[in-house]
Amino acid sequence: MPNGTIFSKIVKGEVFADIIYQDEYITAFRDILPQAPVHILIVPNVQIKTLNDVVDDDIHLLGRIVIVAVGIAKNMGIAEDGYRLIMNCNKYGGQEVYHIHLHLLGGQPLGSILGI
């Protein structure tokens, strides 16, 4: 994609988002259609289309995404009660933006996603 995704544009500051964390590798911002009281999207600053496109060289980037998510959960006061981290992959997995991203959800009981 020559112009990148909406997430690429948020990372570059070309599109407004409520950014709550940003460093040279990762950007985190509030989801515009939250599914829980806390719903943060955490994206790498470089576009990786899907989880299927992750390579060995991305291991530190993916680890950093999780570390940032945990830090945000602690800072937002949801770590003790619990939270959910979700990454979707491709159409059947529910991926809507083809730039990998981690959903951080919390702030209320979330229940089982498997119904068991």
Residue carrying structure tokens 């702030």: 107
Residue (of 51, 43, 30, 52) closest to 105 by Cα position: 30
Tell me whether residue 37 is in a domain.
Answer: yes
Does residue 115 surpass a pLDDT of 70?
A: no
pLDDT score, position 116 = 52
Tell me whether residue 27 is in a domain.
Answer: yes
- CATH number at 39 reads 3.30.428.10
For the chain, what is the domain count?
Answer: 1
Tell me whether residue 116 is in a domain.
Answer: no
Distance CA 88, CA 63 (A): 17
pLDDT over 70 for what percent of the chain? Answer: 95
pLDDT score, position 19 = 98
Domain that holds residue 85: 6-106
What pTM, to 2 d.p., does this model score?
0.93
Catalytic residue among 39, 60, 99, 101: 101
- Indicate if 101 belongs to the active site: yes
